[in-house]
Amino acid sequence: MTAVVEVSNLSKRYDDVVAVKDVSFSVQEGRCFGLLGPNGAGKTTTIEMMEGLITPSGGEISFFGKSLNKESLKEIGIQFQHTALQDFLTVGETLDLFGAFYPNPANKQRVMEMCDLVEIKDRRHQKLSGGQKQRLLLALALINDPKILFLDEPTTGLDPHARRNFWDLITKIKQQNKTIILTTHYMDEAEYLCDDIVIMDQGSIIAQNTPSKLLSEHFSGAIIRLPVENLNGLSIEEFGRAFGHHHVDIDAVDVETSISNLLKKGVKLDGLQVKSANLDDLFIKLTGHQLKSAERN
Amino acid sequence: MKIFFTRFYAILKARNLEFFRDRSSLAWSVIFPFLLLVGFAVIFTDDGKDLFKVGILNAPATATATTAVATPKDSEAFLAIQHIEFVNYQNKETALAKLRQHRLDLLVDFSTSQYWLNETSPNGYFAEKLLLGAAAQSQDLQPSPQPQLVKWTKKSVEGRQIRYLDWVLPGILGMNMMFSCLFGVGYVIVRYRKNMVLKRLNATPVTALEFLTAQVVSRLMIVMFLSSLVFIGCDLMFNFYMLGSYLDLIIIAILGAFALISLGLMIASRSRSEELTGGLLNLATWPMMILSGVWFSLEGSPEFIQNVSSLLPLTHLVEGARAIMTEGATLMDIKDHVLTLVIMTAIFLGIGTVMFRWEGDGR
């Protein structure tokens, strides 16, 4: 598989703050690549450097083997986390405007059909719902028929139904062999959409692989979740890690053995849950460790 | 080159649609100058009010035959003119102070055939003409074959009276253009930058030159359209004084608008803050409101004030347009104003383009 984007030793510094530290990864053609991390992890800074909007302090970015330049923008489509459009324009007029920026724009009707905008093409974009607005922004990112699509937290603020519709849309786009680079802090979104992920925290990459490999690297068996009050006064660290303020997560290679050990220590099993690990668990496990390290320092 | 025009036209069209669909803003752009002109018309054409206010020193009844150079008939003819309010003064210094403050248009002393005029007062100019006209009329009526010569300073007299409304029209239209150009471009660009419209455009192949050119041309079209609309509408109502060429007027208006738009671009080239930009725009507009001759003439004002005034683009727009309308000047006659506006445009546009940032300071 060909790497369409290469990022090498990328870093960004604002005065005394290092937003991104020595980040390297590559994105393969036709894959959905996820940049995950909490707010302030450096995801948006990284993606905006890749989009050419922020000048890196160090490192290199290349598209199809060539260094990033203004011409690269013809090959990429971008949907920002926060953006506004020129007021008083309809959906159709906004697409016409952005289509005019490119020498070979995509067919507007086809883009509207794909993003389910045909019925609202004459509606002013200020009057769109959150989900419709996100679909319009996605359509604008697709109007130049890009090979690479950047989506920065595309479903933030959407209700569950609109999010699920948006995911289906992204899946359809992915089927057209487009490469998608996505940032999100929704782990279920990353798990649903991404083929490869990078988890960032405090400007650095702390994990990088396919979701299934990352889960198998960090978890085996299942997770046992118990209310904290069941621990009979024992410390959370003796069993596993905190999940919120009221629960403890215990990694269990063998569920039966783990439950037997808990009973021996006098732990009550009321409210016990057994579940497979997901990216949410991985994220909490990884960033939780990082935060503790930072606190010790 | 084709893609440049495609992008330019797309942004131009989008901006024009944005402006003309914003009904409240559009309505205000037309109504404000119209109301201002109507207001002035009401104030200055009210039959119950006098057009001029003239101070009389040593009123004619006290004048003696031995000291008078002007005849009693001179004063009678002048004092008989309607719509002039005459105020008697015994203290010359008090009257001169009022004249300096534009509270009098003219001060006349018939006993010595002297009159005082505030050069910066447009009304004073007309009052002076009326005085000299009245003196000449009274001589014609004298039965004597050798009329007594009157030693007023001789001035040429315009045949048709110019209303203050005619004089102030270029100023009001120019002022409205100034607000539209500066705030219409400055605020819009900062708003685009703040709500990330510019960031979205920067993520496309659109260049700063394409974007800025479209903004300038769009605002130019909007300003010229609205100013023409206001001018034509008001002209139908008030029949403005127009001695020069409409083409020359349009050209000086375009040059002035271009310079003001460029100034707006320069001010908004970097900032993300509407508050800061608003302050800077006010800093630019207020001196022009006061020192560009919108409301009153600056002739005769201190040299320092005149020097500052000449640095303001609105001064050249208003003075140029006023010369065309009220004096029948051609573009050649006002070539200094034309050249200054062209140079100002080049400087503002050059600095604005070099300083322009899609995302502003802080990124």
- Longest CA–CA separation in chain B, Å: 89
Residue A259 tokens read as: 């439950």
Contact status of B11 with chain A (Cβ, < 8 Å)? yes
Across the interface, which of A53, A74, A82 has its CB nearest the CB of B205?
A: A74
- Residues with Cβ < 8 Å from B119, sequence gap 6 or more? B297, B299, B300
Conformational region of residue B267, where left means phi above 0, alpha means psi within -120 to 50, and beta covers everything else: alpha
* B216 pLDDT more than 80: yes
Lowest mean per-residue pLDDT among A173-187, B156-170, B263-277: B156-170
Tell me the two tokens of residue B173.
């239209």
* Contacts for B111 with CB less than 8 Å, ≥ 6 apart: B57, B58, B60, B62, B63, B64, B67, B68
Residue A51 near chain B (CB below 8 Å) = yes
| Whether the Cβ atoms of residue A10 and residue A59 lie closer than 8 Å to each other | yes
Eight-state DSSP code of residue A90:
B
Sort strands A32-36 and A58-63 into parallel, antiparallel or unpaired. Answer: unpaired
CA separation, residue B1 to residues A204, A216, B6, B203, B234 (Å):
43, 55, 9, 20, 42
The predicted-structure confidence for B105-154, as pLDDT tens digits, reads as follows: 888 888 777 888 877 677 888 888 888 877 777 666 555 555 455 566 54
Partner residue facing B200 (CB), from A70, A71, A83: A83
Phi, psi of B270 (to 5 degrees): -125, -35
- Residue B69: count other Cβ atoms within 10 Å of its Cβ: 15
Shortest alpha-carbon distance between residue A75 and chain B (Å): 10
Between strands B106-109 and B114-117, the pairing is antiparallel
Nearest by Cα to A99 from B17, B6, B16:
B6
Alpha helices in B116-204 (DSSP H): 122-140, 164-194, 197-202
| Contact between A80 and B6 using a beta-carbon 8 Å cutoff | no
Cβ contact (<8 Å) for B206 and A87?
no
User: Rounded CA gap, B96 and A60, in Å?
Assistant: 77
Distance from CA of A81 to the nearest CA of B (A): 10
Nearest chain B residue (CA) to A101:
B7
Residues of chain A contacting B17 with CB distance shorter than 8 Å: 88-89, 93
User: Which chain A positions have a beta carbon within 8 Å of B195's beta carbon?
Assistant: 83-84
The ipTM assigned to this model is: 0.77
Least confident of B134-138, B316-320, B327-331: B134-138
Encoded tokens for A108: 């507007």
One-letter amino acid of A99 = G
Interface contact flag, A101 B202, Cβ < 8 Å: no
Q: Which of residues 102-131 of A touch B (CB under 8 A)?
A: 102-103
- Hey, is the C-beta of B9 within 8 angstroms of any chain A C-beta? yes
Cα–Cα distance measured from residue B57 to residue A62, given in angstroms and rounded to the nearest whole number: 87
Alpha carbons within 13 angstroms on the beta-carbon side of residue A171 total 11
pLDDT of residue B150: 58
Determine whether the interchain pair B196/A87 forms a contact, defined as Cβ–Cβ distance below 8 Å. no
Contacts of A49 in chain B (CB under 8 A): none
Query: Confidence class of residue B71 from pLDDT cuts 50, 70 and 90?
Result: low
Contact A101 B205 (CB under 8 A): yes
In angstroms, what CA-CA distances link B124 with A99, A233, A244, B268, B338?
Answer: 61, 97, 83, 41, 28
User: Which of B329, B29, B323, B299 lies closest to B178 in space, CA to CA?
Assistant: B29
C-alpha dist (Å) from residue B239 to B95, B97, B234, B235, B276 = 35, 35, 8, 5, 42
Q: Which one is predicted more confidently, A226 or B26?
A: A226
Taking the C-alpha atoms of residue B264 and residue B187, their distance in angstroms, rounded to an integer, is 9
Q: What is the pLDDT of residue B299?
A: 64
Check if B274 contacts A (Cβ < 8 Å): no
Listed residue (B300, B217, B302, B214) closest to B258, CA to CA: B217
A97/B contact by beta carbon, under 8 A? yes
Query: What is the per-residue pLDDT for B293?
Result: 86
Cβ B249 vs Cβ B321: under 8 Å: yes
**Tell me, what amino acid is at A269?**
L
Q: Has residue B61 got a pLDDT over 70?
A: no
A6 contacts: CB under 8 Å, gap ≥ 6? A26, A60, A61, A62, A65
**Strand (E) or helix (H) holding B232:** helix B208-238
Taking each helix axis from N to C end, the angle separating B335-355 and B246-267, rounded to the nearest 10 degrees, works out to 30
B23 interfaces chain A, CB cutoff of 8 Å: no
- 3-class SS at B181? helix
CB contact under 8 A, B10 and A101: yes
pTM of the model: 0.72
- Check B18 against A98: CB less than 8 A apart: no
Q: Report whether pLDDT(B203) > 80.
A: yes
Our CA-based measurement puts residue A133 at a distance from the nearest CA of chain B, in whole angstroms, of 15
* Res B255: pLDDT: 97
Interchain pair A85, B197: CB under 8 A? yes
Do the Cβ atoms of A50 and A68 come closer than 8 Å? yes
B196 to chain A: closest CA residue: A83
- CA angle at B347 for the pair B342 and B352, rounded to the nearest 5°: 125
CA distance A87 to chain B (A): 6
B359–A contact, CB cutoff 8 A: yes
Residue in chain B nearest A13 by alpha carbon: B363
Tell me the three state secondary structure of residue B169: helix
A-chain CB neighbours of B192 within 8 Å are 86
Residues (pLDDT < 50) of chain A are 290-297
